[in-house]
Amino acid sequence: METPPWRDRIRTEDALLEQLDDQAEQARRRRAQALRDGVQELGSVYALAKHLDRSETAISNAIKKYTTE
The Cα–Cα gap between 49 and 56 comes to 5
What tens digit of pLDDT does each residue of 8-44 get? Answer: 999 999 999 999 999 999 999 999 999 999 999 999 9
What pTM does this model have? 0.83
Separation of alpha carbons 58 and 53, rounded Å: 11
Domain ranges of the chain: 21-66
Q: How do residues 54-68 score in pLDDT, each as one tens digit?
A: 999 999 999 999 987
